[in-house]
Amino acid sequence: MNISESSLPDQQNDASTAEIPLSVYDLTVAYHRKPVIWDVSFDIPPGKLIGIIGPNGAGKSTLLKAIMDLIPKASGRVQVFGKSYQKNRQRVGYVPQRESVDWDFPVDALDVVTMGLYKEIGWCLPVRKKHKDRAMEALNRVGIADYARRQISQLSGGQQQRTFLARALVQNADLYLMDEPFAAVDAATEKAIVQILQEMKESGKTALVIHHDLQTVPEYFDYVILLNMRVIDHGLTADVFTPENLQKTYGGRLTLLEEATETMRRREQSL
């Protein structure tokens, strides 16, 4: 699809963009009138795992928040499956950055996961056993069913992350936006999350994931968006995740780059 079609109104644009999970066109976002992302444009393909890669402060979280209308756009537009985010928000699941959650909120893990079902339950109707059973099933799938009744502040970082992943799973969305799901989790949790992302992809879901560990990018993601205020490049990981592009994205932070380049070199040798 030509991304410029994204500027058409929803009703004219449905047929051409219906299967494109997300189109971002010329998006600029500012805090206190100071732009932090500039003219960001990209489409993402359906049924893929897509990494958003860039240094601290590059605007990655801001991009996800602007996509979901959590912060205002200075300019530009976003389409989710060919319509505005508001029209298709029920098709989007969000896994927030762990630091942005108020862990003292008096709810347990099962309550948090059940919140993922509120579009079905409705905000006023009682939560029924069938809903709790589904939430338990999701907690079981992410391996923490034993912690269902524990207050969320008393969960470990990895268990908290798994809880939010379970909430996204019960929502049964088509597009997932995940803000650093691998941050500060142990190797077992990381493996469990990767497994779930793969299963999501196999069932046709698309996940857009903010990720910091350059060494695992080629293994985890089919497609990458390199961001540093602007989109440096985006496309298939094999084409875009190159030392030259990483240099452009990270500038002088060479230690990271050297590690990533070395990983890519080793991977190429083992093929």
Ligand X SMILES: Nc1ncnc2c1ncn2[C@@H]1O[C@H](COP(=O)(O)OP(=O)(O)OP(=O)(O)O)[C@@H](O)[C@H]1O
Contact string 28-47 vs ligand X (x = CB under 6 A):
---x----x-----------
Span of 49-57, 160-168, 216-224, 241-249 interacting with ligand X by CB under 6 A:
49-57
Rounded least distance, CB 269 to ligand X, Å: 31
Phi, psi of 91 (to 5 degrees): -90, 5
Nearer to ligand X, 62 or 114 (CB): 62
Cα 220 to the center of its chain, rounded Å? 13
Nearer to ligand X, 120 or 190 (CB): 190
C-alpha span between 194 and 64 (Å, rounded): 20
Q: Please enumerate in sequence order all residues whose Cβ is within 8 A of that of 151, keeping only pairs 6 or more positions apart, or say none.
A: 106, 107, 108
Nearer to ligand X, 33 or 129 (CB): 33
Please say whether the dihedral angle defined by the alpha carbons of residues 1, 91, 199 and 147, taken in this order, is positive or negative. Answer: positive
Q: Two tokens at 102?
A: 């108020």
Interface of this chain with ligand X, residues 55 to 94, rule: CB under 6 A: 56-62
Would you count residue 217 as binding ligand X (CB under 6 A)? no
Rounded least distance, CB 65 to ligand X, Å: 8
End-to-end CA distance of the chain: 33
Residues that bind ligand X (CB under 6 A): 31, 36, 54, 56-62
